Amino acid sequence: MRLSAALALLVPLLVVGFGLTALAQSSPEPAGGASPAAQLPGDPNKGQQLYTASGCATCHGASLEGGIGPPLNPLKNLGDTKDPLSPSYIIETITNGKQGVGGYGQMPAKGNAKLSDQDIKDLAAFIIQQNKTAPGGHLSPAELARSTVAWTTIGILGMLLITWVLARYNMRWIARRAAARRAAEGRDAARP
């Protein structure tokens, strides 16, 4: 009986301990200690203005959701690169355009707009930033791991609580059945 009581206390404590340890881990800093904004090829704020002013939304949607052209958030991999969020890939795509890739039609070079090299870098920065920080966007591997651990811990604790409640109910039910059986046996013994 002592072993089962010790296990009943130890298991939830271990689950909570592992969960809190995993949640307490800080997310890794980007390589070189630089902030994510420093790794962008241009200014995402200017890129956002250019996205609207240059007519990119006509094909890729006002919220980068796609339309005639592929979605830009989340950025769809058209099969011609391993990393569609690579700044060089995005800059090259905007600069030179695309034709017949991923089942989409033609994207004209520079989107048929008069864009400077810096404008293209700003657009690329805007697209990358939206894919990394937009509400409802993608989680980093560290955030995904923390979220998984948190929800798994909550699920396990919930199952332990339900098991405890059902065990308590079951023990009461067994006690009531035993009392009813003893009472029935007493009545049967009292009858001549």
Give the model's pLDDT for residue 135. Answer: 54
Lowest-confidence region among 109-113, 116-120, 164-168: 109-113
pLDDT at 102 over 70: yes
Angle, to 10 degrees, between the axis of helix 2-24 and the axis of helix 141-190?
160
Q: Which residues contact 37 (CB under 8 A, 6 or more apart)?
A: 44, 129
Give the model's pLDDT for residue 136. Answer: 53
Lowest-confidence region among 115-119, 131-135, 144-148, 161-165: 131-135
Mean pLDDT of 62-84: 88
Cis amide linkage into residue 74, ω under 30° from 0: yes
CA-to-CA distance for 169 and 54, rounded, in angstroms?
67
| Beta-bridge partners for 98 | 107
Neighbours of 101 (CB within 10 A): 15
On whether the CB atoms of residues 19 and 95 are closer than 8 A, the answer is: no
3-state secondary structure of 143: helix
Model confidence, pTM? 0.53
Q: How confident is the model at residue 100 (pLDDT cuts 50, 70, 90)?
A: confident
Q: How confident is the model at residue 103 (pLDDT cuts 50, 70, 90)?
A: confident
Domain 35-138 has CATH 1.10.760.10: yes
| DSSP string for 18-45 | HHHHHHHSPPPPPGGG--GGGGSSS-HH
**Side chain identity, residue 52:** T
Regarding predicted confidence, which is higher, 42 or 101? 42
Q: How confident is the model at residue 22 (pLDDT cuts 50, 70, 90)?
A: low
Residue with tokens 């070189």: 32
Angle CA 60–63–98, to nearest 5:
20
